[in-house]
Chains A and B, each alone.
Chain A
Amino acid sequence: MTDNSNLDEMIKQNQEALDAHTRESVQWHFNPETGSPYWLEKAKDFDFNPLTDVNCFEDLNKFPLFEDDELRGGPVDRWIPKALLGKPTYVFETGGTTGIPKSRVVIDDFRIDYENFSDTLPDESFPKGSNWLMLGPSGPRRLRLAVEHMAQYRGGISFCVDLDPRWVVKLIKKGKIDEVKEYSAHVIDQAMAILGAGHEIKCMFTTPKLLEALAMRLMDEGSSIEEAGIKGIFCGGTEFTQQWYRFAREELLGENVYITPTYGNTLMGLACGRPFDPADDYKITYYAPQPRAVIRVVDFDDHTKVVGYGETGRVKLFTMTKELFIPGFLERDEGEREVPHAKYPWDGVSGVRPFHEIAQSTTVGVY
């Protein structure tokens, strides 16, 4: 139990740690000996010197907004800090249904991010040593390797399915709904085969749509997620709404299966959901893994201005790891700014949903 004075002190300490982390990150990424070619080149056009003029987190507002279109195309090693050159490197992609996908190079970040996230999971629902089902997108994405690493970090093995979300988006855009349903069934077939094969799977990553499909398939076959042996699920995506959370707990899973929402993308680690509390009425609040990544809820018209607590704004993301520096990127989502929590003594965001100005043009696929 943390009283308010303790929380205030924790907030203050975390802010100081964030400022210190910001200074350290800027020194790393803009030092000619350690920084990446991308940022060293960019710095030439700035009307400020990051090495001397950025002394706290607020100073990141001096940078122009990061545009994720910059992530398209090669050479991808322009993103690698010089100090890390030569280390085994992965490239992960996002989007990419048409045209050149956005890429992010990663060395160790995905392992660090998911280890940090793993440490927030309750062991009684995600027993150490348990095997996992990764029921999500495969291919050139971070998620599969990250979940697999987390399973290994927790002493288990991750079983995966084949799921190409780009193909599904193409089918939807062509109006081939029957083929989308067939593909979805094909993915669930794979999950059912894994769950029925005696692998003693107890934990799962999935998305709201796939969890619905899996739970209903199991019900149709006279079983359930619980009877299939699953104890804990972490689940991501903007479709994980307050209403869906309630629906999932009350109707899909039952009270013995734990589910926790997460929010993240390739540019950041995983933001954790505020621990479930019946008093919250299933409200979902996310907290970024500070100081490696920071979320701010900002004014729709002025991204340098944070909105008041409880007010609505656009989600702005900052990432500051040894491998990646993103000094402010406007996510395609909006939400309400939330007060810090004892477990996460910094700002959170709730009610995350697609940014209203672009929501209608987004195609949501099978996952």
Chain B
Amino acid sequence: MLEIPVIRWGKPYESFDQQEVVHFETGEPLAKVHQANAGLVKMDMRKAQRARDLLREIPVSKLLEICKKAADLYMTAELPLGNGTQTPEEFCRIQSASTGMPEWMCAGNMKKVAFVLEHMNEILDSLTRGLPLDILTQGYGKEERGVMMSYQANSPVLGLVLPSNSPGVHTLWMPILPMQIGLVLKPGSSEPWTPYRMTEAFCQAGIPRECISVYPGPHDVGSTVTELCKRVMLFGGQATIDKYKGNPNVQAHGPGFSKILLGDDVVDRWEDYLDLMVDSIFQNGGRSCINASGVWASRHTEAIADAIAKRIGPAGPTSMTDPEAPLAAFTMTGAAQSMNGSIEAGLSEPGVTEVTAQYRDGDRLIELERCDYLRPTIVHCKNTDATLANTEYMFPMASVVQCEQKDMLKNIGSTLVCTAITEDEQWSQQLLDATHIDRLNIGPIKTNALNWLQPHEGNIVEFLFRARAFQNETPAAH
């Protein structure tokens, strides 16, 4: 069987503790993943600075070339994995088999990762606002306009506590190595594949192996990574987000509560935006934080909900190899049942109606022997106080909420991606000023159509580097 070791600054380490990753449908073991213990991480983190030192020996321009090569290797090469090798096709197959994501979605996520790597120079140029990148290496330098700039790395490495069920998030850590910051990866238990394949692609492309550690392991390994790395990106539910709120060392990613707001000036033409609404809710199995979980409008909401429901309501699970499989499976025991229970409880509130049921042959919850599915669900909420008016679940589920335009910003709550379809300039300004919206799209743009040149949930450059004053000559008298 495939055996995957812990990677300690590039060196494989075989642990006595191993965990099998199994096929979500059959229970067939797919691989044995060696498990780190927290002490290993503590021991290794004492040498974290070396990762940055080695990366700083490689010019950023060279690292950007390495990213392009890594993208190619990731997409096309048969790469070593533990005691075996893995082709891109095998990667998609095994990722699907352990996470419940259809294979075509896995392939789509690969392309996203590769796209980010191929365009890394533009992304860094954008995220640093055109900063000469050698300033990140040297710590200081002058911009073209002659102004001294200084940036100090907040940490020699970025710790990542990665999820098991959302392979799409791996794009977020692609810019780290080219900024000469080492990687400490704690993979999710069902999704070791991307961290290991990406590590191998980076190293074969020219990143020194000593710059990356990969620590599969139990929860205390994740908490040790979080505790010891001075900058950490982690993924979890709302409770995790709340736990790290206000902690400057941790960038926590979780539910997005992304929404589409239809302005009063366009809402009578809502049918023009039906495709956009459907895609925002339904694409990628509705599993992402950038999928829309709400559509808000002041009128026509029942018709909008019915039209979306008619389109996505009939969808059900198919084979993982189906190139159009619309739904991902829930592989964690009880997760789908718990979500279904919460939705049913929400539906019992006054003014809340499920619209999809009439277009679905059977129940929302499909329970199978080793996994479950939740079928697309569209809910109509007559008021914004309903529990389901502002929830997010990891399947195509959205609430169409009736709300006056003037009240929307007061009621939408924290929103990762807000697509506001409007040409109302006054409202547009209010949207621009709303600090509870992270990514703002004004115009007919799908919530899940990301421009990678834009920061996502905070600018990663600002998270990793601190702008500060630096002088090596006396300033002009004043």
Q: List A residues at the B interface (Cβ < 8 Å).
A: 175, 177, 181, 208, 212, 216, 219-220, 241-244, 246-248, 251-252, 281-282, 364
11 contacts between A and B (CB under 8 A): A175-B243, A177-B227, A181-B227, A219-B46, A241-B17, A246-B16, A247-B37, A247-B43, A252-B39, A252-B43, A282-B16
In the complex, besides A219-B46, A241-B16, A281-B16, 16 extra interface pairs with C-beta distance below 8 angstroms are: A177-B227, A208-B39, A216-B46, A220-B46, A243-B16, A243-B35, A244-B37, A246-B16, A247-B37, A247-B39, A247-B40, A248-B39, A251-B43, A252-B39, A252-B43, A282-B16
Point out the residue from A175, A177, A181, A251 that lies within 8 Å of B39, measured CB to CB: A251
Within 8 A of A (CB), among B27-51: 35, 37-40, 42-43, 46
Nearest Cβ in chain A — how far from B66, in angstroms? 31
Chain A residue nearest to B44 in the complex (CB): A251
Over the window 216-244 of chain B, the binary record of Cβ atoms lying under 8 Å from chain A Cβ atoms (1 yes, 0 no) is: 00001000000100000000000000010
B430 at the interface (CB under 8 A from A): no
B342 at the interface (CB under 8 A from A): no
In the assembled complex, which residues on chain B have CB atoms less than 8 Å from the CB atom of A216? 42-43, 46
A177 to B228, CA, bound (A): 12
Q: Would you call A243 and B43 a contact (CB within 8 A)? A: no
Over the window 45-66 of chain B, the binary record of Cβ atoms lying under 8 Å from chain A Cβ atoms (1 yes, 0 no) is: 0100000000000000000000
Q: A242-B16, A243-B37, A246-B16 are in contact. Are A212 and B42 (CB under 8 A)?
A: yes
A220 to B46, CA, bound (A): 9
A286 to B16, CA, bound (A): 18
Nearest Cβ in chain B — how far from A25, in angstroms? 38
The 8 closest A-B pairs by CB, nearest first: A243-B16, A242-B16, A243-B17, A212-B39, A247-B39, A243-B37, A243-B15, A244-B37
A106 to B38, CA, bound (A): 36
A2 to B46, CA, bound (A): 46
A234 to B269, CA, bound (A): 75
Nearest Cβ in chain B — how far from A179, in angstroms? 13
Nearest Cβ in chain B — how far from A104, in angstroms? 30
Q: Would you call A244 and B39 a contact (CB within 8 A)? A: yes
In the assembled complex, which residues on chain A have CB atoms less than 8 Å from the CB atom of B43? 216, 247, 251-252
Q: Which interface residue of A175, A247, A364 has the most chain B CB atoms within 10 A?
A: A247
> Mostly helix, strand, loop or mixed at chain B's interface?
helix
Nearest Cβ in chain A — how far from B32, in angstroms? 14
Chain B residue nearest to A248 in the complex (CB): B39
Chain A residue nearest to B243 in the complex (CB): A175
Chain B residue nearest to A208 in the complex (CB): B39
Nearest Cβ in chain B — how far from A238, in angstroms? 13
In the assembled complex, which residues on chain B have CB atoms less than 8 Å from the CB atom of A248? 39
Chain B residue nearest to A244 in the complex (CB): B37
In the assembled complex, which residues on chain B have CB atoms less than 8 Å from the CB atom of A251? 39-40, 43
In the assembled complex, which residues on chain A have CB atoms less than 8 Å from the CB atom of B220? 364
A247 to B42, CA, bound (A): 12
A212 to B42, CA, bound (A): 9
In the assembled complex, which residues on chain A have CB atoms less than 8 Å from the CB atom of B38? 212
Nearest Cβ in chain B — how far from A351, in angstroms? 10
In the assembled complex, which residues on chain B have CB atoms less than 8 Å from the CB atom of A252? 39, 43
In the assembled complex, which residues on chain A have CB atoms less than 8 Å from the CB atom of B39? 208, 212, 244, 247-248, 251-252
Q: Which interface residue of A243, A251, A252 has the most chain B CB atoms within 10 A?
A: A243
Chain B residue nearest to A246 in the complex (CB): B16
Nearest Cβ in chain B — how far from A217, in angstroms? 11
Nearest Cβ in chain B — how far from A169, in angstroms? 15
Chain A residue nearest to B226 in the complex (CB): A177
Q: Would you call B46 and A241 a contact (CB within 8 A)? A: no
A281 to B17, CA, bound (A): 12
Q: Which interface residue of B15, B37, B40, B220 has the most chain A CB atoms within 10 A?
A: B37
A281 to B18, CA, bound (A): 14
In the assembled complex, which residues on chain A have CB atoms less than 8 Å from the CB atom of B227? 177, 181
Q: Which interface residue of B15, B16, B39 has the most chain A CB atoms within 10 A?
A: B39
Nearest Cβ in chain A — how far from B174, in angstroms? 29
Nearest Cβ in chain A — how far from B243, in angstroms? 6
A248 to B35, CA, bound (A): 16
Chain B residue nearest to A252 in the complex (CB): B39
In the assembled complex, which residues on chain B have CB atoms less than 8 Å from the CB atom of A177? 227
In the assembled complex, which residues on chain B have CB atoms less than 8 Å from the CB atom of A244? 37, 39
Within 8 A of A (CB), among B11-31: 15-17
In the assembled complex, which residues on chain A have CB atoms less than 8 Å from the CB atom of B16? 241-243, 246, 281-282
In the assembled complex, which residues on chain A have CB atoms less than 8 Å from the CB atom of B17? 241-243
Q: Which interface residue of A175, A244, A246 has the most chain B CB atoms within 10 A?
A: A244
Nearest Cβ in chain B — how far from A221, in angstroms? 12
Chain A residue nearest to B217 in the complex (CB): A243
A177 to B35, CA, bound (A): 24
Nearest Cβ in chain B — how far from A187, in angstroms? 16
In the assembled complex, which residues on chain B have CB atoms less than 8 Å from the CB atom of A282? 16
In the assembled complex, which residues on chain A have CB atoms less than 8 Å from the CB atom of B35? 243
In the assembled complex, which residues on chain B have CB atoms less than 8 Å from the CB atom of A241? 16-17, 37
A114 to B162, CA, bound (A): 45
Nearest Cβ in chain A — how far from B4, in angstroms? 16
In the assembled complex, which residues on chain A have CB atoms less than 8 Å from the CB atom of B42? 212, 216
In the assembled complex, which residues on chain B have CB atoms less than 8 Å from the CB atom of A246? 16
A112 to B15, CA, bound (A): 38
In the assembled complex, which residues on chain B have CB atoms less than 8 Å from the CB atom of A181? 227
A243 to B42, CA, bound (A): 15
A177 to B37, CA, bound (A): 19
In the assembled complex, which residues on chain B have CB atoms less than 8 Å from the CB atom of A220? 46
Nearest Cβ in chain A — how far from B432, in angstroms? 35
Nearest Cβ in chain A — how far from B259, in angstroms? 30
Chain A residue nearest to B38 in the complex (CB): A212
Chain B residue nearest to A242 in the complex (CB): B16
A181 to B42, CA, bound (A): 13
Nearest Cβ in chain A — how far from B441, in angstroms? 35
